[in-house]
Amino acid sequence: MQVDKNWTPTIVAFCCNWCSYAGADLSGNNRLSYPANVKIIRIPCSCRLNPMFILRAFQRGADGVILCGCHPGDCHYTTGNYYARRRMTLLFSMLDYLGIEKERTRVEWVSAAEGAKFAATMNEFVEAVTALGENKRLEDFRCKQ
How many CB atoms lie under 10 A from the CB of residue 34?
20
The correct pick among 32, 116, 128, 132 for binding another protein (CB under 8 A) is: 32
Q: Is 89 in the site for another protein (CB under 8 A)?
A: no
How many residues belong to the site for another protein (CB under 8 A)? 42
CA-nearest of 12, 20, 101 to 65 is 12
Rounded Cα distance, 145 and 82, in Å: 38
The correct pick among 9, 19, 20, 21 for binding another protein (CB under 8 A) is: 21
Rounded Cα distance, 49 and 135, in Å: 21
Rounded Cα distance, 63 and 135, in Å: 5
Q: Is 22 in the site for another protein (CB under 8 A)?
A: yes
Stretch that binds another protein, among 57-65, 99-107, 126-134 (CB under 8 A): 57-65
Give the start-end residues of each E strand in 1-109.
11-16, 38-43, 64-69, 105-109
Q: Is 47 in the site for another protein (CB under 8 A)?
A: yes
Residues 6+ apart with CB under 8 A from 119: 27, 32, 33, 34
The correct pick among 9, 19, 20, 43 for binding another protein (CB under 8 A) is: 43
Stretch that binds another protein, among 40-48, 96-104, 124-132 (CB under 8 A): 40-48
List interacting residues with another protein (CB under 8 A).
10, 12, 21-22, 24-25, 27-29, 31-34, 36, 39-45, 47-53, 56-57, 60-62, 76-80, 83, 87, 119, 145
